[in-house]
Structure 1
């Protein structure tokens, strides 16, 4: 339930505090007083689009703050907590919306900045808004079908949800089947290319890192003589030639230096330490000399091996040019290609499985569609009777609502039914579709009758938010019909919070809370100020109803207003 709203610098409203009670609350006032801005503020709180033109002229921004009473275990509270909002200790949730004159809008929920869309999500569970545009939408067969589905009950709603889920799944299958069918040639061509590539890789049979090893081997074989010359010279420098006379070599020189230092090291530990380091160096030089000797024994110039290595590298090069920058990349491509080929070769099996599943879904949809049709036809009779009874109480005693369920040319995500509501305005008159023949006043009362029927039917599966907002639902209505509109709104408010913007005293008289919007002109300011939205009771309320009845505060108008209050059962 919406407990209160505070509005700053919105349209003609400079500052206003709107306290909303339970039951039926009406909002009245002179034309242009700011009633519409109150609804604009409410729309902002509900995540509606922000209009910079609504910011009061000369002000930098507008702000609307609302306080909502939200049960802690409700879907609204859960969604708010998911968004990071905090509920007050008394179970209320504060919503704030600001609109800057330069066009930026911000939303806050429970002290946390949130996207505008979050407020719109909460609105679905908080408020149902009915205005002139909603009456126009009632002319749509789709909206009429939705109303009938809402009335048909929870079991019907479950059937519809199952149908919609199956319809969506079949649509996805249709896309995949179409892809498999229309791209069959492309898939076959892709599979053939993959087979050729995999066959080539299998024929060459590359090994991980093989290209790197062969490159190194090619370098050795191609430069065997230069390598032999370098290794021979290095070996001779270290240890001398195996077949030549002894000569000064690195090994001999280091060994001689070591012996000299060892002899003198008895007298100085520094030289002894250096002698140890020369001993380590001697061992290292000896090891290198030994390895060079072994290298020279293994090093051979082998033209046949070089040719074989070059040929193998050429084979690997063909693979890397086509399937990867090196052998490891080629092997990775082959693994991926094998998996893809498996998918492509299984396309026929996949198509058969999808086709079979589609047939199952079609049978399921046919069964669910039959149940939807039966449910709608049964609900159509009940809804028509309930709305017709409500219309009788709305000064349309001779009117009858007909709800027809016909088969659509093509089934859709809602089933195979076309729902059309027709109005017989009086006995003997032809039935006229709401979409073409009903007047604004008739639509207002039909919409209200449907809403009351949905709200009061024990079998209704409709989701009923705790708050209803009606913007001039009484348009085109007067006299006795207006009294009955007020009576039905009061009946709806027995189990919900109902806010009505009205210009009819006959409707306002049924309110539990009567708010009047007035503009002040103090200090030259033509605007609604803090005292401009007030709750009227007693004599003040009688005067407001008198103004609504006759435009003036006369004894006759006040007497008529008092009679209306007595008639409504509210009293003064």
Structure 2
């Protein structure tokens, strides 16, 4: 949920900090007081398009900051933040955006600088802004399959997983066949190139970890004098009369004479004996190392030359010897494939023909599962619309096969274009009047009808989208009477599962609020200033009365406001 919003030097807002609670929060006030400006600030905070026009006149920059609390430890935005190296261990996400008077933006998430793209991606996962004219993904048919898959996520994801196993193999085979079917002149050039590369690598006769061993040997030869001197001094310190081992041996003999007296002396005697023999063995190793040391300047030149050769190959074929050898194996296989292209093509096409049969079966299964989810979605949408007094409205999810090229595999007689998510194209169709044909959602209705349809869909999809907050910006425009009451109840129903912020001019919606914020503006020293005030019970009655009657609030209006608030409390308690 959005816990706190801080706005500074944004449009007519000089400085404003607003705290939000769970449930339904309504924002009301006179037209032009700044209600939509607050929503605009949130929109920019989650990656909306910025402009220097948003910066308050006479100021250098606007500052926007929002604190979001994540109750769900498995919220998808946490994994996405981790992908970008953003710490979310405390379950909080702080989004910040500064917009300069030149129009440039600086974005941060939990203090880490991010691009506007990352801010938008994370922001859209935790808050959804829906305005009267901003229909977002619901009005974009390209997003309808995503919404359907979110609605039926369990069964659809299972079907997609089985489909994708085959599709990934299919996509690789198609790519190989395409590469082998390229024009012969290009293939000949490619063959000449990789044959030359393979010959160059084979000629080098590389060995695994050879570069590491050579670097170690180079270091030893280059530091010969230092190594020799250190080993010699170390050996001399241990061996000979009045040397380290001599003193330790004397100590060992002294303790052996008294070790039988008690266990403590025996333990000390054994410990120093072990140390003596370990050091003696180590001194022999140092002696052997000294005997084997040899300074060979010619060998150093050989190593330098070999390392230079390996470095040259690394620049062309890989970061280390292992990668170079892996690349050699890959191009060796490619050479064989090109030289025997016809036989490989024949084999690959047979594999593809066999695979396509399985792919079609799995694609049809994904479609079948989606259609079952679409039927359930249709029932729920119809039920929601009925509650909004649109019982004669018809809703349907229309399916079609995404068309591919003429030679593509066919599904139900249509050349299909297979993709990672199947072959389905889905679009929401709707008819708002009896006798009228179903039409695409993006082309239907206006005003109040559109508001109710959007609200019905939000009531369903908000449960499946994972957003922590939903903002409705005057979605109740164009409705009144019993429809207004139905919309108020529907918005409240959405807020039970998600935090909802709603700008409204309907007293029915305001009465349903858990928290009522009043937005006002005043002129101070010649400048407009916007303020936000949480309303107490009496103030809420007065504001709902103003929304019912207009400017003048009479005792009768207050009585109507009290009745409306009492009705809202009754509805909320059900």
Cα 1:63–1:356 change in 2 (3 A) is: farther
Following the alignment from structure 1 to structure 2, what is the Cα–Cα distance between the partners of residues 450 and 479? 21
Which of 364, 369, 384 lines up with 1:370 in the alignment?
A: 364
Residue 69 of structure 1 corresponds to 69
Cα 1:571–1:185 change in 2 (3 A) is: closer
For these two proteins, the number of residue pairs brought into alignment is 433
Residue 177 of structure 2 corresponds to 177
Deviation of 1:342 after TM superposition, in Å, equals 4.0
Q: Indicate if the aligned counterparts of 1:3 and 1:20 stay in contact, CA closer than 8 A.
A: yes
Residue 478 of structure 2 corresponds to 476
Q: TM-score, normalised by structure 1?
A: 0.67
Following the alignment from structure 2 to structure 1, what is the Cα–Cα distance between the partners of residues 439 and 197? 71
Following the alignment from structure 1 to structure 2, what is the Cα–Cα distance between the partners of residues 527 and 207? 76
Deviation of 1:166 after TM superposition, in Å, equals 5.2
Cα 1:45–1:172 change in 2 (3 A) is: farther
Q: TM-score, normalised by structure 2?
A: 0.67
3-state SS in 1 of match to 2:64: strand
Following the alignment from structure 2 to structure 1, what is the Cα–Cα distance between the partners of residues 163 and 44? 35
1:140-539 paired onto structure 2 within 5 Å: 140-160=140-160, 163=163, 167=167, 170-171=170-171, 173-188=173-188, 191=191, 341-342=335-336, 344-348=338-342, 350-352=344-346, 354-410=348-404, 411-412=416-417, 413=419, 414-455=421-462, 462-528=464-530, 532-539=531-538
**Misfit runs of 4+, over 6 Å:** 192-199, 335-340
Following the alignment from structure 1 to structure 2, what is the Cα–Cα distance between the partners of residues 196 and 407? 46
Q: Indicate if the aligned counterparts of 2:46 and 2:95 stay in contact, CA closer than 8 A.
A: no
Cα 1:98–1:361 change in 2 (3 A) is: farther
Offset from partner CA, 1:27-61 (integer Å, 9 cap, x none): 22222222222122212332333222111111100
Following the alignment from structure 1 to structure 2, what is the Cα–Cα distance between the partners of residues 198 and 524? 79
Offset from partner CA, 1:410-433 (integer Å, 9 cap, x none): 534343444343334344554444
Following the alignment from structure 1 to structure 2, what is the Cα–Cα distance between the partners of residues 53 and 115? 21
Following the alignment from structure 2 to structure 1, what is the Cα–Cα distance between the partners of residues 133 and 160? 27
3-state SS in 2 of match to 1:519: strand
Q: Indicate if the aligned counterparts of 2:2 and 2:468 stay in contact, CA closer than 8 A.
A: no
**Structure 1 regions of 5+ residues with no counterpart?**
209-334, 457-461
Offset from partner CA, 1:253-307 (integer Å, 9 cap, x none): xxxxxxxxxxxxxxxxxxxxxxxxxxxxxxxxxxxxxxxxxxxxxxxxxxxxxxx
Following the alignment from structure 2 to structure 1, what is the Cα–Cα distance between the partners of residues 169 and 520? 56
Cα 1:370–1:175 change in 2 (3 A) is: same
Offset from partner CA, 1:334-369 (integer Å, 9 cap, x none): x99978744532544553454345335423431222
Cα 1:142–1:549 change in 2 (3 A) is: same
Offset from partner CA, 1:110-133 (integer Å, 9 cap, x none): 233333333223224312222245
Following the alignment from structure 1 to structure 2, what is the Cα–Cα distance between the partners of residues 29 and 15? 18
Following the alignment from structure 2 to structure 1, what is the Cα–Cα distance between the partners of residues 430 and 83? 45
Cα 1:188–1:30 change in 2 (3 A) is: same
Cα 1:160–1:558 change in 2 (3 A) is: farther
Offset from partner CA, 1:514-541 (integer Å, 9 cap, x none): 112211212222121xxx1111131211
Following the alignment from structure 1 to structure 2, what is the Cα–Cα distance between the partners of residues 467 and 494? 11
Residue 10 of structure 2 corresponds to 10
**Structure 2 regions of 5+ residues with no counterpart?**
206-327, 405-415
Residue 539 of structure 2 corresponds to 540
Cα 1:168–1:46 change in 2 (3 A) is: farther
Between Structure 1 and Structure 2, whose CA radius of gyration is higher? 1
Residue 115 of structure 1 corresponds to 115
Q: Indicate if the aligned counterparts of 2:522 and 2:529 stay in contact, CA closer than 8 A.
A: yes
Q: Indicate if the aligned counterparts of 1:543 and 1:553 stay in contact, CA closer than 8 A.
A: no
